């Protein structure tokens, strides 16, 4: 495992982090908690030190599992959680970023995680207007930092454009954003360049685009109600499922699996501090960690990736309409 600085936060993180969205049991279908605990502990043994969660994931269940699994090595790991996004279904995103909710949310998260501080605390998908309308939001996060309850704070942004402006307008220096082979808005919107220039810590989420960049999904799957992918129309799922074939030049004859190629692409942008794939088994953990030991993508491969991205529509802007 290799490690990088999370911008100028003072936190050092493993290049491959552990995204625990799926461990909550209410977004990717039911999970076995014993398997989840084993995966988390094995990931730590293999060198993963950055673990990302939220009070939203399983209504706190992901935090419970993470706290149980890592309480004995708490001082050796970097834990990130989030606050403000409320339980919901579909694409509506109710939020509460009042100072009262942030403080009570943190207290509950600390209790579930069995710790007295968080390394990184992120505002979970606020609108920029919410931040503009209520200066107490950032003030509250700063106060929690002064009190030692959190070491650093930032934003899990709705979009790279929002992340960009959250730095420009509010000085937030730690950001979680979507970034993968078929979602390169961090480049398009200037966030990647800004991060490099200003020392912003970037956490790349959805590196597999909900599993579709692993090459293991066809787009024909029928997801049960609590699996968030059930919200998307079949046409959109098929678009995502077609992507690995368009990037086959990254895997054929290279020794990389589709998942490793997807991770390698993110890691080959030095502005990215860590990438947080979801992992549910020891095999997946081994495969993902191996990506850190693989050679970087070549300049030609990086150019071909960009060409495919620019010439292909991977997202239907109407996909969320009427759902």
State pLDDT tens for residues 93-115: 899 999 999 999 999 999 999 99
Domain count, the chain: 1
**Cross-strand partners of 118:** 150
Q: Would you place residue 224 in the very low, low, confident or very high pLDDT band (cuts 50, 70, 90)?
A: confident
The verdict on residue 322 lying in a domain is no
Average pLDDT, the chain: 95
Rounded mean pLDDT of 140-161? 98
d(CA 228, CA 42): 26
27, 57 in Cβ contact below 8 A? yes
Which residues make Cβ contacts (< 8 Å) with residue 320, sequence separation at least 6?
Answer: 91
d(CA 114, CA 25): 20
- Average pLDDT for residues 24-45, to the nearest whole number? 92
Q: pLDDT tens digit string along 281-317?
A: 999 999 999 999 999 999 999 999 999 999 999 999 9
Q: Is residue 323 part of a domain?
A: no
Check whether 323 has a pLDDT greater than 60.
no
Tell me if 259 is assigned to some domain. yes
- Taken in order 294, 178, 31, 77, the sign of the CA dihedral is positive
Task: Find all residues with CB under 8 Å of 147, minimum gap 6, and list them.
Answer: none
User: For position 322, what pLDDT does the model report?
Assistant: 56
Q: Is residue 3 in a domain?
A: no
Kindly report the CATH number assigned to the domain that includes residue 174: 3.20.20.100
Within a domain: 22: yes
Rounded-to-10 torsion of CA 96, 101, 102, 108? -120
Q: Which domain holds residue 225?
A: 10-311
What is the rounded average pLDDT of the residues 170-179?
97
Average pLDDT over every residue of 138-158: 98
Q: Would you say residue 59 has pLDDT above 70?
A: yes
The verdict on residue 226 lying in a domain is: yes
In a domain, 320, yes or no: no
């Amino acid at each position: 495992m290799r490690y990088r600085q999370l911008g100028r936060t003072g936190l050092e993180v493993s290049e491959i982090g552990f995204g625990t969205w799926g461990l909550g049991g209410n977004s990717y279908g039911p999970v076995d908690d014993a398997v989840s605990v084993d995966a988390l502990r094995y990931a730590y043994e293999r060198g993963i030190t950055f673990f990302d969660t939220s009070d939203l994931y399983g209504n706190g269940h992901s935090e419970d599992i993470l706290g149980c699994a890592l309480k004995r090595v708490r001082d050796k790991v970097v834990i990130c959680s989030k606050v403000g996004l409320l339980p919901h279904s579909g694409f509506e995103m109710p939020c509460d970023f009042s100072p009262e909710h942030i403080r009570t949310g943190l207290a509950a998260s600390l209790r579930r995680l069995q710790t007295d501080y968080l390394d990184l605390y992120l505002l979970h998908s606020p609108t920029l207007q919410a931040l503009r309308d209520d200066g107490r939001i950032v003030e509250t996060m700063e106060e929690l930092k002064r009190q030692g309850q959190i070491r650093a704070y930032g934003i899990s942004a709705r979009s790279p454009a929002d992340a960009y402006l959250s730095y420009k307008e509010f000085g937030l220096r730690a950001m979680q954003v979507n970034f993968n082979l078929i979602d390169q808005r961090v480049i398009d919107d200037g966030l990647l360049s800004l991060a490099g220039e200003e020392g912003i810590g970037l956490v790349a989420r959805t590196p597999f685009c909900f599993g579709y960049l692993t090459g293991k999904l066809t787009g024909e799957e029928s997801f049960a109600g609590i699996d968030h992918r059930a919200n998307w129309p079949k046409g959109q799922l098929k678009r995502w499922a077609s992507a690995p074939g368009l990037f086959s030049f990254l895997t054929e004859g290279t020794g990389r699996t589709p998942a490793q190629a997807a991770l390698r692409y993110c890691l080959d942008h030095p502005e990215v501090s860590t990438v947080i794939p979801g992992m549910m088994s020891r095999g997946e953990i081994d495969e993902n960690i191996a990506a850190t030991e693989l050679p970087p993508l070549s300049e030609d491969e990086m150019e071909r990736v960009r060409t495919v991205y620019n010439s292909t529509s991977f997202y239907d802007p109407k996909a969320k309409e009427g759902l």
